[in-house]
Amino acid sequence: MLHLPMDKELNRNDSIPGAPAGFLLDEQQWLYIKKRYYMTARELQIARLVCNGFNNNGIAEFLNIKYSTVKVHMRNIYRRVRVSSKMSLLLKFVEDINALYVSPETISSLPVPMPESISQTGSDISYKLPIKNGD
């Protein structure tokens, strides 16, 4: 059986230069993403590499597969997650995980910013946001 590398096995030298160090999601969260979007093990592995800053060439080299194979997997991942870019993919995963930790009561209690003043043209709208004490 093919060994799929985990986050801790990723070599940062194989990633995009200047990519941030650290990990986006933990193992349980990645398992949730895999189940939520019905991803194969390889699709999940590639999604993890993308979220760790790898580009398609880097993924192909790291996994020792062809660039075109990476593109096919990326297309399938985009279709499953219903996004059209790597940044959207990353943001969607973060939103999904954050939604697990935010209750509907918390969302409904958040303040909605109201316009303080609106200019004649309507293009210059300023908002007065509530300020928390001690921040």
Query: What's the whole-model pTM score?
Result: 0.61
Task: Supply the pLDDT for residue 119.
Answer: 46
Looking up tokens 């030298």 gives: 13
- Please name every residue paired with 118 in a beta bridge, in sequence order, or none if there are none: 125
Helices (H), the chain: 27-36, 41-51, 56-63, 67-81, 86-101, 104-108
Q: What is the pLDDT of residues 56-108, one digit of tens each?
A: 999 999 999 999 999 999 999 999 999 999 999 999 999 998 888 776 665 56
CB proximity list for 127: less than 8 A, separation 6 or greater: 113, 114, 115, 116
pLDDT band at 35 (very low <50, low <70, confident <90, very high): very high
Task: Supply the pLDDT for residue 34.
Answer: 94
pLDDT band at 132 (very low <50, low <70, confident <90, very high): low
Q: Is pLDDT above 90 for 11?
A: no
116 against 56, higher pLDDT: 56
Q: Give the best-scoring range by mean pLDDT among 14-23, 26-35, 124-133.
A: 26-35
Q: Is pLDDT above 60 for 45?
A: yes
* CATH architecture observed for domain 26-104: Orthogonal Bundle (1.10)
> What are the residue boundaries of the structural domains of the chain, listed by start?
26-104
